[in-house]
Amino acid sequence: MKDWQFNMGLLGFYNVLRHADIDVKFQDDYIEFDEEELKKHLEGFEEKYFSYLIDKYGKLTHWQKLSDICKELEMHKAQGYSNFKENGLKGLNDFITELKNHLKKDNYTKVYQFIKDGYEIKCNAEKLKNVKLNKNQDIQDIIPELEKQIDMIKKIEGYVFSESGKKYLFAKCLIYNVIQNLWDKISFLNRQNRESDIYKAFKEDFTDKTLEYISENKSEYKLKCFATGLPVKNLGSAYELSFLVDTGFDTARKLSNIWDYNNDIFICDLARLIYICMPCGITYSTFKDAVFINANRDFENLKKVNENIFMSIKRTAEDKDNPSLIKNFIAYKALIQAMQKETIELQPKYELLDIQVIRLNQIGGSSNMRYRFNILSKEVLELLSKHSKELDKLIPCGFIDGKTYIYIYPTVIDNIINKTNLFNFIHLLLSRKLDVSLKNFYSDIHIYMLNIINSKFMEAEMEKENKLEHEKIVKDFKNSGYYLGEAYRNKNAENRINGIAYRLLNALKTRNAELFLHTILNCYMYINKPVPKDMEKVLLSDVILAEIGYAFVTGLTGSILKEEKNTK
């Protein structure tokens, strides 16, 4: 085991072999084979590689949608199309357009020749057309044309899900949605490669060359592979890491990236095969989000933690009782659940260590995937595990910013993972809550949860207080804010609360403890009541000011503002 990319590839290599029912022996930080055994396992490795990816991610492909649509259409046919309405027809026509566009793409048409009767796919695709419903017609009037199009869709499904169809069409989809995110520009992803058979290209470029390398007599080789330490004949027979997306570089173009302009970053054929297996080591929840836990204490730990991630994602995706919103955040949920399992299973044997998390996802509106790196400390892991139920309650909550619905849950998780406190986010939520013209779908209870979670997160920076007092401080000052609002309402002065809350938030934003206390004193003088005990602690530090202040304002806003119960 080495760096995170090699570890991801090593786990992927292991997964491919295990999926092919090959028994793989591993020690603390390596997989063990003798030479002849390894050569035997690599025979037909290209078939094993794609078979693993298709079985693991086949349900994420657009071909799975074809299967689901056909099942739905069969159900409508059995019911005599009595429940097939105009919106169903519109959905079918949209799908027909989408299917035709997919089937015309060059990356698919190039492999029709390797599919039994594959050219029939193109012929049927050309015959597909939308079913029209005129104003004076109902669904029963168009059933003959409807069934004609459905029959062609089912024929296409038969070709796609045939043994050879699934082998090539599913693999093609996964090449551009899974593999290309991790490595690119070699073999079948090299635009100058004229070989249309992706299996043959993989075999010639990776399987055969690795087998040749293993069989070579390396006794006189003087160079060493950067990744494995194995002998390398010369630079001409070695490979650079430029094929790795966003991390490798071409030394011919960027020689300045190398120390003293002397390239010593090259790898052997076996190491390249390991890196090629990275897509089999990372776990995708959707084609837009993937995660890998580099738990590099030993290979068993690496394997178990990432298996937990995959099984959690699979359970969530297959659970019909799960709200669709939860499925939007499968990767986040899986990460938390895997860490909980890690804590329960391994902590009696090992002290819980910091863990590197690598996420691959789309950032913002970009269609390109980017790596995001985090180190999950013991404290962060325990926090995510302890407050998982509270975090789940945030899943449907959010607000509309422009035309975009912003979910609270992923923002909070990202902040915690990135070791960023929640004060700024709490400030934003409170400020928005005071503006009744904005569309907010959360309550003061949710903001209170964030205050509690954040106080636990900030414990390391608040050494003067013990664990019990942190939660008590948030609870007490949240209640104090609530009762201040109640007192103003009893004096028929509830219209002043917005202004007070804004002044307090401005003081907290600038970390101005004096202005905060001045506003508090004026408020309690107005209602003729004593200032809450320990309020003077806001002068101790900016962190304590923020913790007390935001808890207080949370209670104050909750006392008077009408709560919006609806969520998106």
- Whether residue 32 is contained in a domain is answered as no
Three-class SS string for 526-543? HHCCCCCCCHHHHHCCHH
Judged against a pLDDT cut of 60, whether residue 494 lies above it is answered with: yes
Q: What is the pLDDT of residue 465?
A: 45
User: Is 343:385 a contact under the CB 8 Å cutoff?
Assistant: yes
For residue 356, the Cα-to-chain-centroid distance in whole angstroms is 15
If asked whether residues 361 and 431 sit together in one domain, one would say no
If asked whether residues 523 and 551 sit together in one domain, one would say yes
Query: Which of 119, 150, 173 is the last residue before a domain boundary?
Result: 173
If asked whether residues 79 and 200 sit together in one domain, one would say no
Tens digits of per-residue pLDDT, 427-482? 999 999 999 899 999 999 999 999 999 988 877 555 544 444 778 889 999 999 99
Tens digits of per-residue pLDDT, 315-339? 777 766 555 555 556 677 777 777 6
Range of the domain at 204: 4-18+182-281
Tens digits of per-residue pLDDT, 241-253? 889 998 866 655 5
If asked whether residues 277 and 288 sit together in one domain, one would say no
DSSP 8-state assignment for residue 183: B
Mean pLDDT of 381-397: 85
Query: Which of 265, 281, 297 is the last residue before a domain boundary?
Result: 281
If asked whether residues 235 and 331 sit together in one domain, one would say no
Instruction: Report how far apart, in Å, the C-alpha atoms of 342 and of each of 295, 301, 345 are.
Output: 10, 9, 5
- Whether residue 28 is contained in a domain is answered as no
Ranked by mean pLDDT, which of 134-138, 174-178, 338-342 comes out on top? Answer: 174-178
If asked whether residues 78 and 169 sit together in one domain, one would say yes
If asked whether residues 190 and 152 sit together in one domain, one would say no
If asked whether residues 372 and 301 sit together in one domain, one would say yes
- Whether residue 332 is contained in a domain is answered as yes
What whole-number distance in Å separates Cα of residue 275 and Cα of residue 243? 10
- Whether residue 505 is contained in a domain is answered as yes
Contacts of 387 (CB under 8 A, 6+ apart): 452, 453, 456
If asked whether residues 204 and 253 sit together in one domain, one would say yes
If asked whether residues 432 and 485 sit together in one domain, one would say yes
Query: Which of 173, 199, 225 is the last residue before a domain boundary?
Result: 173
Partners of 441 in the β-ladder = 398
Reported pTM: 0.85
Judged against a pLDDT cut of 80, whether residue 256 lies above it is answered with: no
Count of domains for the chain: 4
Buried-exposed string 115-129: b where 16+ CB fall within 10 A, e elsewhere: beebeebeebbeebe
Query: Which 3 state secondary structure label does DSSP give 495?
Result: helix
